[in-house]
Homo-oligomer: A and B are copies of this chain.
Amino acid sequence: MSEAGLSKTTGWAALASSHPLLAFLDAALRGSGQVVFMNNPLTGALNFLAMFWGAWVGGTTLAVAFGSVVGTVISTAVAQASGAERGALRKGLHGFNGMLVGAGIATFLGGTALAWAVLVFASGIAAVVTLAVEKVLATWDTPGLTFPFIFTTWVVLLAAYRLPAWPIDGLPAAALAAQTAAGGVGAAGTAAAVADAFGLVEAARAVLTSVSQVFFVDDPLAGAIFLLALAVESRRCAALAAAGAALAVGCAWALGADRAAISHGLWGYSAVLTAPALGCVFVARTSSALGHCAAGTLLTVILQGAFFTLAQTAGIPPLTIPFVLSTWLFLLARRGREAAPGT
């Protein structure tokens, strides 16, 4: 979104505008950057680099890295073919949902020929969903964020349960919300969870891994590269992303959430996006902005827990819906200040 990216890279910007193919490459790279709100091709390039680093070092497969590239390209191309508004296309606003769909589907479907066909189709659908969602939300001057990615990926995963030709691995087994008999929900385990402290190194790892989990990568070093990519465009946003993850990891730990899940970044990845969204991307730097940013990040943690429960009932992961709902609520509330309730 920020225009700073253009100035910082005028040399490349000039080159990019010299040839349609380069312009498309530029849009695709900015699409990768827009996953973390950065309208900057260098941020996007570093994000892709981190995807491949995660594939080689971080235990994710190469399919995930290539899937993120293919998804970005397909969704950007489909949006262009569908006649999407030029400015938005150039800023990469039609690419980031495709990148996440590509990485997500490769994560759960693997790299079979059919999986790639589904990935390509779903990335195109993500472009259609983006146009539809933006059309609806424009009514309240609110962005679609990663909702098109979430909707598209959920649909593909839910359908897989009925389409045996789509063998999917790594989905959370569907289960009903479980209450522990004594002392209400999960009271057992509280003691244990609170007892053993969370080492600073372990906490730092959890924070960086939370950043990488935004891209389905489970590796702290990849997370560091993603943060660096963010800092290339905005140091403030990078700091907020890290701070958001730290706040989320801290809260989840203090409230006795599952330690393994925290360490794998599953309680922090949504907050990685909420904090910069409410702290520097969509709002002016006012005194109240930072307060809203903190409150929105806390709400994101609670929503993360709520959707672990709700999504598992359906046998799917929450993805980044906690970030989307929290950010929508706080942005709409700002717009709502002028509107009189009930009128």
Contacts and interface: CB of A to CB of B under 8 A. Distances in A.
A190 interface: yes
A164 B256 contact: yes
Given A188-B164, A333-B82, A342-B144, A177 B314 contact: yes
A169 B186 CA distance: 10
A167 interface: yes
Nearest to A192: B164
Contacts of A85: 337-341
Contact of A124 (B138, B295, B328): B295
A178 interface: yes
Interface in A117-145: 121, 124-125, 128-136, 138-141, 143-144
Work out how many copies of this chain go into the complex. Answer: 3
A175 to B, nearest CB: 7
B184 A329 contact: no
Contacts of A87: 340
A85, A169, A298, A328, most chain B CB atoms within 10 A: A85
Given A186-B167, A314-B309, A330-B128, A161 B135 contact: no
Interface residues of A, number: 97
Contacts of A243: none
Contacts of A176: 174-176, 313, 315
B190 A179 contact: no
A184 to B, nearest CB: 4
Contacts of A168: 184-185
A159 B306 contact: yes
Task: Give the top 5 A-B pairs by smallest Cβ distance, nearest first.
Answer: A135-B336, A159-B305, A177-B315, A132-B332, A158-B306
